[in-house]
Amino acid sequence: MIENRPWLTVVSHATLMIGIALVALPVWMALVASTHPASAFGVGHIPLWFGDAGVDTWKTVLFEKAGNGIDTPVFFMMLNSLVMALGITFGKIAISLLSAYAIVFFRFPFRNLCFWIIFMTLMLPVEVRIVPTYEVIANLNLLNSYTGLTLPLIASATATFLFRQCFLSIPGELVEAARIDGAGPFRFFFDILLPLSRTNIAALFVILFIYGWNQYLWPLLITTDDAYYTLVMSIKRMLSVTDGDIAWNQIMATTLLAMLPPVAVVIGMQKLFVKGLVDSEK
Amino acid sequence: MTDVVLENVGKTYPNGYHAIPSVDLSIEEGEFIVLVGPSGCGKSTLLRMVAGLESISEGELRIRGERMNEKEPAERDIAMVFQNYALYPHMTVYANMAYGLKNRGVPKNQIEEKVTHVADMLGLTELLQRKPGQLSGGQRQRVAMGRAMVRDPKVFLFDEPLSNLDAKLRVQMRVEIRQLQRKLGTTTLYVTHDQVEAMTLADRLVVLNKGKAEQIGTPMDIYNQPATPFVAAFIGSPSMNLIDANVTEQGVKISDAVTLPLSHEHRGEVVWGIRPEHLVVCDEKNADFALRIQAVESLGAETLIHGVIDEKSGKNEPMVVRLAGPHLPDINSLIWLTAPVQHWHLFDAKTQQRL
Amino acid sequence: MTVTFPQKGLPWLLLLPQLLVTAIFFLWPAEQALEQAFYQEDAFGLSREFVGLENFIDLFTDPLYYQSMLTTLLFSFSVAIFGMSAALLLAVMADRVIRGKLAYQTLLIWPYAVAPALAGVLWWILFDPSMGPIALWLESAGVDWNHYLNGNQAMILVVIASTWKQISYNFLFFLAGLQAVPRSLIEAASIDGASPFKRFWTIVFPLLSPTTFFLLVVNLVYAFFETFGVIDATTKGGPGQSTTTLVYKVFEDGFIGLDLGGSAAQSVVLMGIVGLMTVIQFRFIERKVQYS
C-alpha cells in the first residue's frame, strides 16, 4: 500500500490468520475426533487433541467397512464417487463442446431456439424438479445404475455457455485461414478448436469434477443398492442410525475422506480452479 | 493468358444491403492487382468473395476458365495472407506452414522439402520450431507469407497484410513482397487503403468507391488521367486541389475573380483540379492567381504550402502547393502561382466523369 | 462476424446429445411437474383427478408455505450477508499484504470443494449439545445450546455451515475485484489526503459494487438451491418447520409426504423464481459486458 503503516500490515496478517483458523476449525476437530475410539464420545465432549486410535479407524473405514449401517468400505464408495464425478465431467464437457461448436460455427434453422432450450436448463437445478425427474429415471429403469447417476446431470447450460464464449473469442481470420488450408469441420474441430480450448477445458474439468463428486440428493434418491452408494451421500445414511449407536470417529474419518479428493484438486490445481470459477460465471 | 475473371460480380447481404453493385475485372497471369479505396468501399469484401469466404450474390468468378462461385475456399487453389496473420497459435512455424499441405494429403517428405525451401527463401529456417507467440510482428508476417507460398497456389490474396507493422518495416516488406511476387510469377490480388502501397506494388490498380470500381489502370495512368474527382483526390499525396468551377466562353471560371483562359467545347459546371506539385510560383504579372499562405510544412526535400485563393470574394478556396527543396515564406504573405494548362484535370460536375 | 461451415445436417448431429439429454431429463420432467400441479393423486398412486388450480390455492392459503418462504428469505439473506461481509474483510486484508498472498488464498479457498452435506455434518457435530466443543463452551458461557429443540439455534447452525462453505467463493471474486481497482485512483485519493479507511469506503467499495451485486445474486441462488444438502444432512427442516426452506419443502412434501400435486405446484412456483433470478443475473451480466 501507499503509506508505510506497519500496524496495518500486522492487523492484516492477524485477520487473515484468524480467518484461516476459523475456516479450518471444523476440519481440525474432525481430524482429532477421528483419532479417538468410539467409546471416547458421549462422555461429555469431543477430545481436543489427537488420540491413538487414528490409524485403526482410518484403516477400517477405508478398507473394511465404513460402519454405522454401511457395510461397504469407503474405498469402494470412493470408486463409485469417482465413476460418477468423471462420468458427469466428461459427459458435460463432451456434449457441451459439440453443441457449442454447432451453435457458433454453423448456421441452421431454429439455431436460436436450440440455444434457448439449452439456456433453460440453467434455470432448473435438479433440486427443483426432483420428483418428476425421479419418475422419469424410474420409468427408464435407470435406478441403481451408473447411467442413472450420471446421465441426468450432464445436461447443463453452463459448460455450453463457457465454450460458446471461448469459441466466439477465436479470431474469425483463424477460421478462414483453416478453411483456405483445406480444413473441414472435423479437422478444424480437432486440429484447431480443441487445442485452442485446452485451458478452458482443463479449468472446467476442475469445476465439474467438484460438482460431480459433491452430488448429494440425486444419488441419495436413485440408489438403494449399496453397490452404487457414493461417498458424500453415504454420510446421510450413516447419520440416520439411532443416536446412541453412532460411531462418531468413523463418521468423521469418512467425512474427511469424502472431502479429500475435491479439496486436493482445488489446492493442487489452484490456478485452473480460479480460472474455471471466474470463467463459468461470465 | 487470362487467369482470374470477375464478371459483373456483386454482393447483396441477406438484409438487403447492396455492398457491391457490379465489378468487372480480368486479370492476366502473373499480374499484381491492387484493390485500393477508403475503408468501407468493399475492397475486402471483393477479395473475400474471390477467396470463397463470402458468397457471390451476382455474376461469375472464373479462375483459369473454371467457374468458382460454388467452390469451397480450399478447392479454389488460392492462398491468403490476413491482416492479423491468422497463424495457428498452438502450432510451430513449421506446422503452420505444413498444415494446408497435410490436409491435402501431400506426402510427408514432399511437405518437408517444400517448407524447408520456402523457409529458406524467407529467412525463416532458424524459426521453424518456434510458436507464433515467440515471433516479432515482421517475422509473423513472413510466416503468413510462407504459409501461402508453400502451397504454390494459382492466386495469392493479400488483405492489408502490412497494416499492423511499423512504418519502417512496412516499407521493407513492401519491397520484399514485390520481389517475391516477381520471382514466383503468381497472380496476386492485394487489398490496401494505403495509396503509397498501392502505387508502388501494383501492375494495375482498381480504385474502389462505395462498391464500384471507379477506375482500373496502371498506377501512372491513374495518376495522370484520373477518371473521376474521387480517384483524383484519392491517388496522390498531398491530394489534388479540386475546385468547383464553370466553363464559359472566356475559359474556366474557378471563382468570381479568377477565370483561367481555355477554349473547351463543354459548357456548364465542372470540377477543376490541379496537383500541388504542378503549381508553379511566378511573378505577379504572369500569375493566374494569388495564394494567401496559412501554413507551411517543411520536409526538407520538399515544402508544402497551405493557403487560400480568392480572398476578395470571401470564398477562401483552400489550395496546397508543393515545392521542391526548402522554402520559408512568411505566414499570411501572398505568393503568385500559375497553373500550367497541360496539368489540368476537368470533370463534369454532374456525371463526375473526366472531360 | 463469425465464419461458418456450410454443412446443414452436421450441426443437428452435434446438438443431438445435448438436446436429447435436455429433452428427456429436463423438458419431460418439467412438463410432468406442470401437469401434475393441476392434478390430485391419492396416496397409492392409483387414481388421479384434475383439480384445476386447487393445488395452487391450497399452497397459497397454507400458512406453512408462507412460513417456509419467510424461513427461506431469512436463511438466504443471512447466508449472503454474513458470507459476503466476512469474505470482503478477508479479501481486503489479503489485497493489502505483500508477502504470502498466494498462501493465504490457498488456505482460504479450499472449503469451496467441500460438499454442502459434509459442511453441515462438520458443524453439526461441533455444535452437538452433548459432545460438541463449541456447544460446551457456549454452555460454560451461560448459553443453553440445543439445536435439536431450539428452532432459532438450528437456523443459526445451518446459516453458519452454509456461510462457511461459501466464503471461499466470495473471497476469490472480491479479491479479483479489488485487484482490478486501478492503482492510480488509490494514489490520487491518498494525494488528496484520504486515509486508508476513508479510501476504502469512498473509492474502493463503490468501484466494487458490480462485484458485490453479482455476488449477492449468486449467493442467494446458492442459498436457495445448493444448501439442500446442509439442511437434509443436519436438521431435516426441523425442529418443527424452523429450517424448512422452499426447496426442502418440495422434497419433503413430494418424497416423504407423497403429496405429489402439492409438491409439483411448489416446483412450478420455484421454477418461476429461478427464472426471475436467472433473468436478473443475465441482465446484470449484459451490463457488465457493456461497461467492461
Is the bond preceding B238 in cis, omega lying within 30 degrees of 0? Answer: yes
Q: What is the pLDDT of residue A46?
A: 58
Q: What is the SS3 assignment for C134?
A: helix
8 A C-beta contact, residue A229 and residue A70: yes
Contacts A191 to B, Cβ<8 Å: 99
Judge if B287 and B257 occupy the same domain: yes
Nearest Cα residue in chain B from A171 = B86
Host H or E run for residue B2 = strand B2-12
Nearest Cα neighbor of A132 from C65, C265, C52, C21 is: C265
Contacts C96 to A, Cβ<8 Å: 1, 8-9, 12
Contacts A171 to B, Cβ<8 Å: 84, 86
Torsion C177-C179-C182-C186 (CA) sign: positive
Can you give the pLDDT of all 282 residues of chain A as single tens digits?
455 677 888 888 888 999 999 888 888 888 887 787 766 665 555 566 777 777 777 777 776 776 767 778 878 888 888 999 999 999 999 999 999 999 888 888 888 888 877 877 766 666 667 777 888 888 888 888 888 888 888 877 778 888 888 888 888 889 889 988 988 889 999 999 999 998 889 888 888 899 899 888 888 888 888 778 888 888 887 777 665 667 777 888 888 888 899 999 888 888 888 888 877 664
**Out of C118, C125, C196, whose CB is closest to A232?**
C118
Q: What is the pLDDT of residue C2?
A: 57
8 A C-beta contact, residue B185 and residue B17: no
Contacts A194 to B, Cβ<8 Å: none
Nearest Cα residue in chain C from A173 = C3
Torsion B221-B223-B228-B230 (CA) sign: positive
Contacts B103 to A, Cβ<8 Å: 181-183, 187
A191 touches chain B (CB under 8 A): yes
A109 touches chain B (CB under 8 A): no
Q: Where are the alpha helices (DSSP H) in A106-216?
A: 111-121, 130-139, 146-150, 157-168, 172-180, 185-187, 194-196, 198-213
- Helix C260-291 with A130-139: angle, nearest 10 deg: 110
Contacts A177 to B, Cβ<8 Å: 80, 82, 86-88, 147
Judge if B62 and B172 occupy the same domain: yes
B128 touches chain A (CB under 8 A): no
pLDDT per residue as tens digits for the range B239-273: 999 988 888 888 888 877 777 877 777 788 889 99
Q: Are strands B241-247 and B252-253 parallel, antiparallel or unpaired?
A: antiparallel
Q: Of C38, C107, C108, C118, which to mutate for an interface test with A (greatest number of A Cβ within 10 Å)?
A: C118
Cα separations in angstroms, C136 against A248, B172, C120: 17, 82, 19
Please answer yes or no on whether A180 and B78 come within 8 Å at the CB atom. Answer: yes
Please answer yes or no on whether C11 and A111 come within 8 Å at the CB atom. Answer: yes
Q: Residue B31 domain-assigned? A: yes
Q: How many angstroms separate the CA of residue A260 from the nearest CA in chain C?
A: 8
8 A C-beta contact, residue B187 and residue B31: yes
Determine the residue type at B81. V
Please answer yes or no on whether A174 and B88 come within 8 Å at the CB atom. Answer: yes
Q: How many angstroms separate the CA of residue C50 from the nearest CA in chain A?
A: 18
Q: How many angstroms separate the CA of residue A98 from the nearest CA in chain C?
A: 5
Residue B246, domain extent? 241-348
Q: What is the SS3 assignment for C141?
A: coil
Domain boundary among B234, B251, B272: B234
- Subunits adjacent to chain B (3 or more Cβ pairs under 8 Å): A
Q: What is the pLDDT of residue A7?
A: 80
pLDDT at position C80 over 90: yes
**Out of A180, A187, A196, whose CB is closest to B90?**
A196
Q: What is the SS3 assignment for A51?
A: coil
pLDDT at position C106 over 60: yes
Domain boundary among B234, B251, B279: B234
For domain A34-278, the CATH architecture is: Orthogonal Bundle (1.10)
Which range, of A126-135, A217-226, B211-220, C49-58, averages the lowest pLDDT?
A126-135
Going by the DSSP 8-state scheme, the letter that residue C61 receives in this structure is T
**Chain-wide mean pLDDT for chain C?**
83
Q: How many domains does chain B have?
A: 2
Q: What is the pLDDT of residue A169?
A: 86
Nearest Cα neighbor of A173 from B288, C3, B273 is: C3
Question: Left if phi > 0, otherwise alpha if psi is -120 to 50, otherwise beta: which for B268?
Answer: left
Going by the DSSP 8-state scheme, the letter that residue B316 receives in this structure is -
8 A C-beta contact, residue C116 and residue C227: yes
Number of Cβ within a 10 Å radius of residue B133: 9
Q: What is the SS3 assignment for A112?
A: helix
pLDDT at position C292 over 70: no
pLDDT per residue as tens digits for the range A8-64: 888 888 889 999 998 888 888 888 877 877 666 655 555 667 777 777 777 777 767
- Subunits adjacent to chain A (3 or more Cβ pairs under 8 Å): B, C
Host H or E run for residue B174 = helix B167-184
**Mean of pLDDT values over C236-261:** 82
- Residue C291: band (very low, low, confident or very high) from pLDDT cuts 50, 70, 90: very low
8 A C-beta contact, residue B273 and residue B229: yes
Phi and psi angles of residue B210, each rounded to the nearest 5 degrees, phi first: 50, 45
Contacts A176 to B, Cβ<8 Å: 51, 53, 73, 80, 82, 86
Torsion A167-A170-A174-A176 (CA) sign: positive
Please answer yes or no on whether B86 and A181 come within 8 Å at the CB atom. Answer: no
Judge if B274 and B336 occupy the same domain: yes
Judge if B212 and B246 occupy the same domain: no
Question: Left if phi > 0, otherwise alpha if psi is -120 to 50, otherwise beta: which for C52?
Answer: left
Nine-digit cell at A125?
Answer: 437445478
Most confident of B91-105, C56-70, C177-191: B91-105
Determine the residue type at C50. F
Nearest Cα residue in chain A from B75 = A182
**Mean of pLDDT values over C231-252:** 85
Q: How many angstroms separate the CA of residue C172 from the nearest CA in chain A?
A: 8
- State which fold the C53-288 domain adopts: MetI-like fold (1.10.3720)
What's the longest Cα–Cα distance across chain B? 78
For the beta sheet containing B289-298, the strands, ordered from the edge strand earlier in sequence to the opposite edge, are: B280-282, B334-338, B289-298, B302-309, B317-324
Q: Are strands B345-348 and B268-274 parallel, antiparallel or unpaired?
A: antiparallel
pLDDT at position C117 over 80: yes
Please answer yes or no on whether A171 and B86 come within 8 Å at the CB atom. Answer: yes
Q: Residue B354 domain-assigned? A: no
Nine-digit cell at B99?
Answer: 498444415
Judge if B15 and B163 occupy the same domain: yes
Which range, of A124-133, B13-22, B337-346, C168-177, averages the lowest pLDDT?
A124-133
8 A C-beta contact, residue A231 and residue A257: yes
Q: Of A29, A81, A115, A128, which to mutate for an interface test with C (greatest number of C Cβ within 10 Å)?
A: A128
Contacts B83 to A, Cβ<8 Å: 173
8 A C-beta contact, residue C268 and residue C33: yes
pLDDT at position C1 over 50: no
Q: How many angstroms separate the CA of residue A208 from the nearest CA in chain B?
A: 25
- Helix C28-36 with A130-139: angle, nearest 10 deg: 120
C-alpha atoms less than 13 angstroms from C-alpha of B269 in its C-beta half-sphere? 6
**Out of C4, C117, C196, whose CB is closest to A8?**
C196
| Separation CA A93–CA A197 (nearest Å) | 11
The CATH number linked to B305 is 2.40.50.140
8 A C-beta contact, residue A193 and residue C227: no
What's the longest Cα–Cα distance across chain A? 77
8 A C-beta contact, residue C222 and residue C166: yes
Determine the residue type at A280. S
Domain boundary among B183, B199, B234: B234
What's the longest Cα–Cα distance across chain C? 78
**Mean of pLDDT values over C132-159:** 85
Q: How many angstroms separate the CA of residue A159 from the nearest CA in chain B?
A: 23
Host H or E run for residue B224 = helix B219-224
Please answer yes or no on whether A173 and B86 come within 8 Å at the CB atom. Answer: yes
Is the bond preceding C63 in cis, omega lying within 30 degrees of 0? Answer: no
Q: Give Cβ neighbours of residue B127 (< 8 Å, ≥ 6 apart).
A: B93, B119, B135, B139, B143
Please answer yes or no on whether A2 and C131 come within 8 Å at the CB atom. Answer: no
Judge if B198 and B286 occupy the same domain: no
Q: Residue B355 domain-assigned? A: no
Nearest Cα residue in chain C from A152 = C25
Judge if B137 and B161 occupy the same domain: yes
pLDDT per residue as tens digits for the range B300-327: 889 999 998 877 766 778 899 999 888 8
Number of Cβ within a 10 Å radius of residue B351: 9
Q: Where are the alpha helices (DSSP H) in chain A?
A: 6-33, 54-59, 74-105, 111-121, 130-139, 146-150, 157-168, 172-180, 185-187, 194-196, 198-213, 217-222, 231-239, 248-268, 270-280
| Separation CA A248–CA A41 (nearest Å) | 7
The CATH number linked to B148 is 3.40.50.300
Q: Where are the alpha helices (DSSP H) in chain C?
A: 10-22, 28-36, 54-60, 63-96, 101-109, 116-126, 133-140, 151-179, 183-191, 196-199, 205-221, 228-233, 246-251, 260-291
Residue with cell 483524383: B232
Nearest Cα residue in chain B from A176 = B53
Where do the domains of chain A lie?
34-278
Q: How many angstroms separate the CA of residue A44 from the nearest CA in chain C?
A: 5
- Subunits adjacent to chain C (3 or more Cβ pairs under 8 Å): A
Q: What is the SS3 assignment for C49?
A: strand
Judge if B9 and B132 occupy the same domain: yes
Q: What is the SS3 assignment for C235?
A: coil
Q: What is the pLDDT of residue C89?
A: 92
pLDDT per residue as tens digits for the range A221-231: 888 887 788 88
Q: Residue B219 domain-assigned? A: yes
Phi and psi angles of residue B11, each rounded to the nearest 5 degrees, phi first: -135, 120
Cα separations in angstroms, B126 against B115, B119, B122, B135, B143: 13, 9, 11, 11, 12
Q: What is the pLDDT of residue C211?
A: 85
